[in-house]
Amino acid sequence: MDPNNVNEASDNMSDDGEMASVMGFSGFGKKARTFDLDAIFEQTRRTAIERSQRALERKQKDDQMEEEEGESSKSVKSSVHTQREKAATATSRKQESESSSNSGSDSDSESELIGPPLPPQYTAQDDDDEHVRLPRLPGNAAHSDEDDDEGETQDDDDDDDNPVKKIPDTHEITLQHGTKTVSALALDPSGARLVTGGYDYDVRFWDFAGMDQALQAFRSLQPCECHQIKSLQYSNTGDVILVVSGNAQAKVLDRDGFNVMECVKGDQYIVDMAKTKGHTAMLNSGCWHPKIKEEFMTCSNDGTVRTWDLSSEKKHKSVFKPRSFQGKKVIPTCCTYSRDGKLIAAGCQDGTIQIWDRNLSVHTKFHCRQAHIPGSDTSCLSFSYDGMTLASRGGDDTLKMWDIRNFRNPVNVATGLTNYFTMTDCCFSPDDKLLVTGTSVKKDEGNGKLVFFERASFQKVYEIEVTNASVVRCLWHPKLNQIMVGTGNGLSKVYYDPVKSHRGAKLCVVKSQRKERQAETLTQDYIITPHALPMFREARQRSTRKQLEKDRLDPKKSHKPEPPVSGPGRGGRVAAHGGTLSSFIVKNIALDKTDDSNPRQAILRHAKEASENPYWVAPAYTQTQPEPVFAEESEEDEEADKEPEWKKRKI
């Protein structure tokens, strides 16, 4: 027995004794199994060397076999199989001898092989198997095993080389959003739900798995009341939707359309837009951060690009202010993040494209001053999947491609692409080989088209005539391999291929339209009001003579006219008045002709009633108030009152 193990055992026993005296228990159960790591590593190294030697020998034998036998595909095939059988038997025998030698030399160790297991292509098969499976042979020998499928593989290679054949345009479905322009499209990352928004203020939700051939939206709402929808986008997790409309406040909805957040509106009387908490003018565009699920960005007519956090709706996160060559404020019409989320790009009304570092909002990192014609709204910016190329769709009827590493001049330019909308899209194909955009047309002057350009040569390789209206929005989903298009006549079209596309529109076209029930058709065709039925009518009185007589005596119900005024008018009524202002005033001030020329007599007229029935002042002073004594007026006083004023002055 190894003395080291004895010492370890004694140490463990002493430790158990101390543990039992201190903590009340003597151990932690069974002891762990110990391994010799040096032996394991050595055995693994030897196994790897042997495998590499066997693979090298097999490859050399295959190369010799290819050089010797080149007569026909069948002979090559048979020779390959025989050679494989020999190699398999040789390897199996070699493995048996090695295992026996290893078992004899390492009798003290365990019988199992120490190290990682052998891959399945090197393990020996059962005796009943006809052939031993080996790795694919390199070069032409691998293709010689599949002569029967040679034509199919060549077709697949042609499809891989030609990106036009990957366009899913063999089938289409049409979703009727409304009658006005579909100005926004969004599809969640899984491709299960489509959201459309338009100039009719509506946002409609379409569920591909829940729709049938009727192709009806399961929900329609107006989240921003009477404002046109400018942009819609799902977050990278697909649980919330960013809604950008014509007002100054962006909204965030959940998957079912309920309000989650509304951005705050800024103070429009503050000159410095960086000092306000939010936008103060109409929004133009917005998008989510590709990596951070709670951050999104908006741009507005107030001349700012702002980033927001979903958890704090009271204030923006950061502000980017585009500037012209003279340092004046310019309006950003579109904005986007780069694929890694480190850059923020904005297209402005003066024709510039300005790119900032997301963490540095003061100075631009890339700036192209004459990207498009000044005064034309840049409708879309889109980064390629590799992050090095930027595509811009301008209001000057052009589509340009830029390399952000050399941002002064465009790499390629396509002209003649009519654009009448400030939100016309452009996007890259999932394999980054094609660039897609839509064209605009005037009413009854042709069809709007979806145009495809090859990224390398920038040649127009394909186009699809969509409808007799402008093509505004386009979206190529990488997971579904389906193209969604929003048009100027209220249609949303989905293009797909039954072979190349997955799920999405393929789920709803196979479902038959649900039949309406008999009860539903009756309730839709006939509307019965309950009070129109005889059983719900109120019973009328059989004899109405007495009721009519009572109503005749009531001056209000009978509408009895007022009798004419005889004499001077009283109580606001005038006997005879014309259309003059004085007559109108006399009528409305309740003219009263009572003569109260003697005020003393007018007061004493109410003295008897006040003394007999005191109401206001007298009850409070009944005990302290003396009795009023009025002196009677004598005849001399009456004569003195009648004397004229000039006599009194003489006296």
Query: What's the predicted TM-score (pTM) here?
Result: 0.56
- 269 pLDDT band, cuts 50/70/90, is confident
Distance from the Cα of residue 141 to its chain's centroid: 53
Cβ–Cβ under 8 Å, residues 137 and 145: yes
Contact predicate 491/174, CB 8 Å: yes
195 within 8 A of 466, measured Cβ to Cβ:
no
Residue 592: pLDDT above 80? no
Question: Which residues make Cβ contacts (< 8 Å) with residue 474, sequence separation at least 6?
Answer: 185, 425, 426, 427, 436, 437, 438, 450, 483, 484, 485, 486
Which amino acid is it at 176? Q
The 8-class DSSP code of residue 342 comes to S
Higher pLDDT, 307 or 367: 307
Q: Is the pLDDT of residue 524 over 60?
A: no
CA 468 to CA 448: how far, in whole Å? 6
Q: What's the average model confidence in pLDDT over 221-236?
A: 89
- Pick the range with the lowest mean pLDDT from 34-38, 311-315, 636-640: 636-640
| Sign (positive or negative) of CA dihedral 532, 538, 544, 549 | negative
49 contacts 57 by C-beta, under 8 angstroms: no
Of 15-29, 176-190, 258-272, 394-408, the least confident: 15-29
* Nearest residue to 273 via CA among 262, 285, 281, 283: 281
Average pLDDT, integer, range 59-71 = 76
Q: What is the DSSP letter of 264?
A: P
299 pLDDT above the threshold of 90: yes
User: Rounded mean pLDDT of 195-210?
Assistant: 90
User: What is the mean pLDDT of the segment spanning 386-407?
Assistant: 88
pLDDT at 29 over 90: no
Rounded distance between C-alpha atoms, residue 625 and residue 607, angstroms: 16
Q: Looking at the chain, how many residues does it have?
A: 651
* Tokens 């030697």, located at residue: 53
User: What sign has the CA pseudo-torsion 357, 358, 363, 364?
Assistant: positive
The predicted pLDDT at position 467 comes to 87
Is residue 501 within 8 Å of residue 481, measured between CB atoms? yes
Name the H helices within 463-574. Answer: 505-509, 518-525, 545-553
Give, as one character, the DSSP assignment of residue 163. Answer: G
In angstroms, what is the C-alpha Rg of the chain? Answer: 48
Give the three-class secondary structure for 438.
strand
Report the chain's terminal Cα–Cα distance, integer Å. Answer: 160
Buried b / exposed e along 485-495 (16+ C-beta atoms within 10 A): bbbbbbbbbbb
Sheet order of strands, 295-300 included: 283-288, 295-300, 305-309, 318-320
Q: What pLDDT sits at residue 23?
A: 56
pLDDT value at residue 159: 55
- Token pair listed for 68: 């010797």
Inter-helix orientation angle 37-68/73-105, to 10°: 160
Least confident window among 235-249, 258-272, 533-547: 533-547
- For residue 412 the two structure tokens come to 């390629």
Note every long-range contact of 498-505, with CB atoms under 8 Å and residues 24 or more positions apart, other chains counting. 498/170, 498/171, 500/166, 500/168, 501/168, 502/191, 503/191, 503/192, 503/208, 504/191, 504/208, 504/477, 504/480, 505/171, 505/173, 505/208
30 pLDDT higher than 60: no
How many C-beta atoms lie closer than 10 Å to residue 354's C-beta?
24
% of residues, the chain, pLDDT over 90: 16
Count of alpha carbons within 13 angstroms of residue 188, beta-carbon side: 19
Number of H helices, E strands in the chain: 13, 28
